[in-house]
Amino acid sequence: MKIEDIIQKGVKTALTELYDFAPSDNQIQIQNTRKDLEGDLTVVVFPFLRFSKKSPEQTGEDIGKFLLKNIEFVDSFNVIKGFLNLDISKKFWVENLFEAYLNEDFGIANENEESKTVMVEYSSPNTNKPLHLGHIRNNLLGFSISEILKASGNKVIKTNIVNDRGIHICKSMYAWQKWGNGKTPENSGMKGDHLVGQYYVEFDKHYKAEVAELIEKGISKEDAENQAPSILAARALLLKWEAKDEETVTLWKTMNEWVYKGFEVTYKTLGVDFDKIYYESETYLTGKDEVLRGLKEDTFYQKEDGSVWADLTDDKLDQKILLRSDGTSVYMTQDIGTAKMRFEDYSIDKMVYVVGNEQNYHFQVLAMLLDKLGYEWGKGLYHFSYGMVELPSGKMKSREGTVVDADDLVEGMIEVARKVSNELGKLSSLSETEAKETYRMIALGALKYFILKVDPKKNMLFNPEESIDFNGNTGPFIQYTYARIQSVIRKGIDKGITIKKEINIESLSTKEKDLLKRVNLFPATVEEAANNYSPAVIANYCYELVKEYNQFYHDHYILGELNEETRNFRLILSSTVASVIKKGMNLLGIEMPERM
């Protein structure tokens, strides 16, 4: 049982017996004691004064004496104004450490019969371009949220929806037909997603030139954008595709397969995966059927041009198009179909969409439309909205070819990791093969940690050089500390020092106790991260744990400690810290090198 839960239960009993008051859980505030004060945990006394009819100091004294008498783990207490500071016994911290050392699942809740089923959608790429830096943040957040939810006892289904149809892919298809000259991934040596993305950029280049030429002829900008030959050709391809024209569908399948193979390579490099992949080409018809049902039931309405709309003005929103006048679908239509299919395929308790904050309105509307269509789970959909990521050079634009491809970024990160590691002489003892693998782990650890340590709701600036630093709040700093601990344990084995599975220690130093308290926080940290869908909570916990360990390591002998019991305790403490670091970083999708 967590010490916070023990104290909470004790305070409840104290308030009942002392003041005939039965508080709710949220009325009892327990927090870590400030470092400049004596104690481990602090109970906020102010909410109880109206029941005790006493001063904050006297109320704190009453409760403190009760806890001291009735809870074996409370060693002493002090009261400062309305704050009751409790000193927790060495016995508790040592027992908690030993439990964490022996329990491989310390801090991790396993799935059981009462587990909720949570589906997490992330990635959601278009098949007209390779994955880029924005997709990297999406994939890393989605994967980490999934792992954290799983670690808090949920059954998690990781899913992806591939935007494999629509005007975007038709633009790439048209450009390839027009200017591709039969290029394929095989004969060009290009990754399939990069090749298709090249023609998306090519389309935009020609389209802009056509629009400019029409404007010069006196046509308005809006009309020019709608009458340019390239956009008319792309729209014609979309209509052919929806009519199942054989030649068009064959080209569509071919180019999409090129992209899928490219995506698979990138996903594997990033270390993310999916349990189920949906394709909009398979869900949009279900969405159209739902929209037409809504039209028939007067939930939606049709304009004179044949387009179908939802009127959400009574809900303080606007009017939303669901089917174009030519009968083709929009993203909203497809998302309605995808949601319906998911809830038919799985018994989902919670659906989480990991999508950037520019889509906040879209998901607000989606939830409302599903509710209007009669699906009770509609309003329960959760949009995990996150901020954009930029490079120091500024914003990225896919159409203009200024996006940083995920593959190129990772390759560049590995090179930076190699360069920095070599300059510092960090991996000089490793073989070439080991060093190469470690460069990869450092590079991806740096990338993932730098992105995930930031509050996901905030926009962020990603600086590759800054992320690969062996000091400070970075992935490599945490990886290096983990490798340092593993090195200590290996050296101990080499010296014939084995860890005894028992702890007998007379006293704890301040640094040892601080480290034990930090280890104790891991289960609650996982729970907090899951409740808030926040990998940043885990990332910053790992950093604080590593900082505490490095202070302990600086001030205490481990293998050089002459007292055998103290040395054994410190080895168990070090081993447990390493285990918790690894578990925490694994929840972020980060691998931990054994040697650095």
pLDDT in tens, 248-261: 999 999 999 999 99
Q: What pLDDT score was predicted for residue 397?
A: 43
Whether residue 179 contacts residue 173, with contact meaning beta carbons closer than 8 Å, is answered with: no
Is residue 375 scored above 90 in pLDDT?
A: yes
Q: What pLDDT score was predicted for residue 401?
A: 43
Q: Which of 140, 215, 199, 562 is nearest to 401 (CA)?
A: 199
Q: How many other CB atoms sit within 10 Å of the CB of residue 54?
A: 16
pLDDT in tens, 289-312: 999 999 999 999 999 999 999 999
State the Cα–Cα distance between residues 580 and 299, nearest whole angstrom: 53
Q: What pLDDT score was predicted for residue 393?
A: 62
State the Cα–Cα distance between residues 198 and 180, nearest whole angstrom: 10
pLDDT in tens, 421-433: 887 777 878 888 9
pLDDT in tens, 462-521: 877 788 777 889 999 999 999 999 999 999 999 999 899 999 998 999 999 999 999 999
Phi, psi of 87 (to 5 degrees): -95, 115
Average pLDDT score over residue span 25-30: 91
Q: Which residues have CB under 8 Å from 214's CB, separation 6+?
A: 223, 224, 227, 228
Both tokens of residue 419?
Answer: 């360069």
DSSP state of 272: -
Q: What pLDDT score was predicted for residue 162?
A: 95
Give the three-state DSSP class for 240: helix
What is the identity of the amino acid at 188? S
State the Cα–Cα distance between residues 536 and 447, nearest whole angstrom: 14
Both tokens of residue 430?
Answer: 């490793």
State the Cα–Cα distance between residues 482 and 501, nearest whole angstrom: 21
Domain range 3-88, its CATH number among 3.40.30.10, 3.40.50.12280, 3.30.1360.70, 3.40.50.1220: 3.30.1360.70
DSSP state of 394: B
State the Cα–Cα distance between residues 558 and 206, nearest whole angstrom: 68
Average pLDDT value over all residues in the chain: 93
State the DSSP H helix or E strand holding residue 351, giving kind and residue range, or none if neither. Answer: strand 350-356
pLDDT > 70: percent of the chain: 98
Binning pLDDT at 50, 70 and 90, where does residue 212 land?
A: very high
DSSP string, 309-341: EEE-GGGTS-EEEEE-TTS-B-HHHHHHHHHHH
Whether residue 573 contacts residue 508, with contact meaning beta carbons closer than 8 Å, is answered with: no
State the Cα–Cα distance between residues 236 and 227, nearest whole angstrom: 12
List the domain boundaries for the chain.
3-88, 122-390, 445-586
**The CATH homologous superfamily of the domain defined by 445-586:** Isoleucyl-tRNA Synthetase; Domain 1 (1.10.730.10)
Q: What pLDDT score was predicted for residue 380?
A: 87
Please, what sign has the CA dihedral across residues 398, 360, 118, 151? positive
The CATH number given to 122-390 is: 3.40.50.620
Q: Which residues have CB under 8 Å from 436's CB, separation 6+?
A: none
State the Cα–Cα distance between residues 410 and 132, nearest whole angstrom: 10
